[in-house]
Structure 1
Amino acid sequence: MFAADEASRALGIELLATGPGQATARMRITEQMVNGHGIAHGGYVFLLADTTFACACNSHGPVTVAAGAEINFIGPGRLGDVLVAQAQERTSYGRNGIYDVTVRREDGEVLAEFRGRSRTIGR
């Protein structure tokens, strides 16, 4: 799935690891990702978390999509920062799942917490 994800790869997102119900990815904040306040635009941070969530929830095999997601921004990313997102399945029930993604700067500071709800649509 990630190999065909043109949007994520065009932003330089790298998939570092996957396993059952989990994934880790990273992205460097570029000039195009910085907003008028000089910090990473939240949409890009969300996109990194969402991509990592997608890789985790699709790790079980069937085609799975987001049914919904929310993010809490805790701290700012800045130009040149490398962000690392780690996704972990919290629970699955029927065709649904709940996943948490933590986005950190490489120094370990937490920048955002994301929760995604998945829905399996294929077998």
Structure 2
Amino acid sequence: MEVVSVEPGKVKVQFKVEEEHLNGHGTLHGGYTSFLTDLISTLALMTTGNGNPGVSTDLSVAYMRSAKLNEIITIDADTLKTGKLLTFSTVDFRNEAGKLIAQGKHTKFVGGGASS
């Protein structure tokens, strides 16, 4: 994976779909896409100056197209809003033609303090 750009609340990365990223149908595995939604949106959150990476409260991914072996995928994560307790992010996965293949949405609890 290669970081393409970073700015406050946003991260763009690219990766090549390799054999270990595939499902049984020979396309990018949905579980891997979900993992990347979590990882890259958390990286984008960390660029906002919030030192707390938080914990996931909700994560979803909508799959529009498949990605095949050796395709280059661009992932754009955008921190939409960070409040006192929650942060909201979107993560777009695009193929080399710029077509949206998946979109993730991620909500994290970032509030401080211990709970009982």
Normalised by the size of structure 1, how large is the TM-score? 0.80
Q: Which residue of 1 aligns with 2:105?
A: 115
Answer yes or no: is 1:27 the counterpart of 2:31. no
Structure 1 residue 57: Cα displacement:
0.8
Q: Which residue of 1 aligns with 2:33?
A: 45
Distance 2:48 2:28 in 1: 32
Higher helix fraction (1 or 2):
1
Q: Which residue of 1 aligns with 2:48?
A: 60
> Larger deviation: 104-113 or 45-54?
45-54
Calculate the aligned-residue CA RMSD, in Å.
1.6
Instruction: Tell me how many residue pairs correspond in the alignment.
Output: 110
Structure 1 residue 71: Cα displacement:
0.6
Q: Structure 2: 5+ residue runs without aligned partners?
A: none
Distance 1:47 1:84 in 2: 15
Q: Structure 1: 5+ residue runs without aligned partners?
A: 1-12
Normalised by the size of structure 2, how large is the TM-score? 0.84
Structure 1 residue 95: Cα displacement:
3.0
**Given the alignment, which residue of 83, 87, 93 partners 2:77?**
87
Question: Per the alignment, in what secondary structure is the counterpart of residue 45 of structure 1?
Answer: helix
